[in-house]
Amino acid sequence: MLLLLSLVAVAAATPMVTPAPDPQAAQKRATTCTFSGSEGASSASASKLDCSTIVLSSVAVPSGVTLDLTDLNDGTTVIFAGETTFGYEEWDGPLVSVSGTDILVTADDDAYLNGDGSRWWDGEGSNGGKTKPTFFYAHSLTSSTIENIYILNSPVQVFSIDDASDLTLTDITVNNVDGDTDDLAANTDGFDIASSTGVTITGANIYNQDDCVAINSGENIYFSGGVCSGGHGLSIGSVGGRDDNTVKNVTFYNSEILASQQAIRIKTIYGDTGSVSEITYQEITFTDCTDYGIIIEQNYDDTDEEPTDGVTISDFVLDNIQGTVESDAVEIYIACGDGSCTDWTWTDVDVTGGEVSDDCLNLPSGITCDE
């Protein structure tokens, strides 16, 4: 430490001279730190800048505390091992937060993060009842990867992705199946994405009770090889009324939606402004949707009102979409504002099993609700 301080002092005194390589700093960069048990979260947060690899081995995060891995050194690796648990408190969370540049967050194959959400589940999600913590903030992550993470029983929303650029999420599992019992879990969105550029999500398995993916804003977002079950499908929106109301260049590719409220959804908020453009859903299959196969609405969440034209939806491609809905569900519903849905190209769209809507509004040229 003394040596390090003196080197810093020399460097500061002679700012024009490039400091010689510091062997101690190199060693520091290669340090693996392992944290575990009930002190693990506070020790990891306190020491995170001294470690190039942070191993979180069966950490028991205390109630009301975030496992704080924000502002990590560039290039830090975080590895979850064993079961990570979280104490109970009624609060907003997050339970885990990671930020930095060139960060890798990964896990041993048998590791899992156990939210034990049943302690909070009351059927009201984020709309009432107990205040529930969001699980995982992936905010302000640049050129980073989150992979091989298994989340069990989230209290409410799982991944909040905000202000990220060039972020890859690979092989993420969210298993909230237990929350289906008595409809107790709600608003357990898999990935909520906002104000981010370049987010790639591959091979996700999401078993939940709300959107598998929901994009409020952001650009260059790619979701492929996913399975989404029990929730609200692949959603854009709701768009409008926030600081950032632009969604651009989003692709959902080669994914399967099972037993969900709907498979494909774009919702823009009644009376607000913004833009949704360059949206592609390709090679999407779905079965047994309970409400809609495909739903596009420009009057969320005032569906008694006529849709408004302030948030446009343009360059919207559906290609090779095959799905079934339950017999009392609507196959396709579209409610556009006057002239605010343009340049839609739908090919090989085949939705069967339910009712054909006869009150679609302001359909763009070439599109019908009877595909």
Residues near ligand NAG (CB under 6 A) are 220, 222, 249, 251
Residue with Cβ nearer ligand NAG (91 or 222): 222
Q: How far is the CB of 199 from ligand NAG (least distance, A)?
A: 8
Asked, as a colleague might, if the bond just before 364 is cis with ω within 30 of 0, I would say no
Residue with Cβ nearer ligand NAG (119 or 248): 248
CA distances from 143 to 48, 75, 135, 266 (A): 19, 10, 21, 28
- Contacts of residue 268, defined as CB under 8 A and 6 or more positions apart, other chains included, come to 237, 238, 239, 240, 274, 276, 297, 298, 300, 310, 311, 313
Residue with Cβ nearer ligand NAG (57 or 224): 224
Q: For residues 174 and 203, is the Cβ–Cβ distance under 8 A?
A: no
Q: For residues 246 and 274, is the Cβ–Cβ distance under 8 A?
A: yes
Residue with Cβ nearer ligand NAG (80 or 252): 252
Q: Quick one: three-class SS letters along 318-364?
A: EEEEEEEECCCCEEEEEECCCCCEEEEEEEEEEEECCECCCCCECCC
Q: How far is the CB of 339 from ligand NAG (least distance, A)?
A: 25
Among 48, 132, 232, 265, the active-site one is 232
Output DSSP code: residue 121: -
Q: How far is the CB of 143 from ligand NAG (least distance, A)?
A: 14
Q: How far is the CB of 280 from ligand NAG (least distance, A)?
A: 9
Pairing label, strands 191-194, 159-162: parallel
Q: What angle do CA 114, 75, 249 make, to 5 degrees?
A: 75
- Among 161, 218, 213, CA closest to 188: 213
Establish whether 232 is a catalytic residue.
Answer: yes
Q: How far is the CB of 222 from ligand NAG (least distance, A)?
A: 3
- The Cβ-side half-sphere exposure at 305, using a 13 Å CA radius, reads 13
Give the residue numbers marked as catalytic.
232
